Structure 1
Amino acid sequence: MKKKYENESLVNEYIKYTKVRLIDYLGKQLGIYSSEEALSIALNQGLDLVVISEKSIPPVCKIIDYGKYKFNQEKKAKEAKKKQHNASIKEVKMRYKIENHDYNVRLNQALRFLQAGDKVKATITFRGREVQHTNLAIELLNKMAKNLNEISTVQQIPTKDGKNITMILTPNKK
């Protein structure tokens, strides 16, 4: 019988190996047995014979309750998925002539994003002739990077992109 899924284990009579290394319910190695002998030992104990590792020679089988085993595998996979955090890029937009209070609001926004584990893209936009003042915008972005340097690092230095100047900050690893 073929397995339905890649992560599904072979169980009981579907194990077609001639010899298997057998491990009992408590984790003690019992030795190398034929699959028929191993299966009869497992069924006598009222448990299942499950292939744990097909890669070793001979394959490793364990005598366990397959229902509990499958439940625990799914539980571990769910926990691992919970712990993953996909860092997305959050954007903070401002103008180079920003007032002090507004700057602090943007700084706090960026701080919250970084503490949540997200990257921050700080963008300064220009209108019309304001493009002449790119040096002031770069100074403002460098000031933001300096204010956030304890919890972040600069991934991309301030660079001009059309009528915008952008900088990307990434959170420091904990």
Structure 2
Amino acid sequence: MTRRNEQIRAREVRVIDDQGEQLGILNRNAAIDLAKERGFDLVEVAANAEPPVCKIMDYGKFKFEQSKKKQEAKRNATVVQIKEIKVRPKTDEHDYQTKLKHIRRFLEEGDRCKVTVFFRGREIVHKDRGQVILERVVEDTRDIAKVEQAPSSEGRTLHMLLVPLPKK
């Protein structure tokens, strides 16, 4: 196709009216005049199509409705936070139960929970104690949570990520 033919083709557009009916392929200027005659705008909806597709619509109203939909989507969106609980390998039973209660509360509220075991000094030698604690947390929360990120070691910490089970 020569350059001249491309320019001529670019002046033609497929037009859809405000009711959704196809009006066919029209000259671009004729389509603009038709839209103005009806009191609307000519909006290009598919530029990559051959020929480009344009729709006769009230563009201001269209933009307003789009912004309202976007606001509604924002309003209905739920924000999921990641809460973190830190324990030590020497954490006693009562302290463990208290932290477990917090973990359960976070998960019931729909938040993710990161459980971190941090080691100080020579405690790092006993990483197996940290693994035992994390396995116990998984076992104690099995009814309301699942492990999203398996226990992994990073420096002096051992951590995993729990997510709440979908509600029925």
TM-score between both structures, scaled by the size of structure 1: 0.71
Cα shift at 1:34: 0.9
- The within-5 A match list for 1:36-55 is 36-55=29-48
Cα shift at 1:112: 4.3
Q: Distance in 2 between matches of 1:167 and 1:63?
A: 55
Deviation digits for residues 55-77 of structure 1 (CA, Å, limit 9, x no counterpart): 11111111111110111222334
- The within-5 A match list for 1:84-95 is 89-95=82-88
Distance 1:43 1:161, change over 3 A: closer
Cα shift at 1:94: 1.4
Q: Which structure shows the bigger proportion of residues in helix conformation? A: 2
Q: Distance in 1 between matches of 2:71 and 2:116?
A: 37
Aligned partner of 1:10 in structure 2 is none
SS state at 1:27 partner: coil
Distance 1:159 1:18, change over 3 A: closer
Distance 1:42 1:161, change over 3 A: closer
1:148 aligns with 2:145: no
Q: Distance in 2 between matches of 1:162 and 1:41?
A: 69
Structure 2 portions without partners, runs of 5+: 1-8
Aligned partner of 1:63 in structure 2 is 56
Cα shift at 1:167: 1.9
Q: Distance in 2 between matches of 1:131 and 1:170?
A: 27
- How many residues end up aligned between the 2 structures? 159
State the one-letter code of the partner of 2:86: K
Indicate the percent of aligned positions where both proteins have the same amino acid: 42
State the one-letter code of the partner of 2:37: N
1:32 aligns with 2:25: yes
Deviation digits for residues 9-42 of structure 1 (CA, Å, limit 9, x no counterpart): xxxxxxx941111111121212111111111211
Cα shift at 1:155: 3.4
TM-score between both structures, scaled by the size of structure 2: 0.74
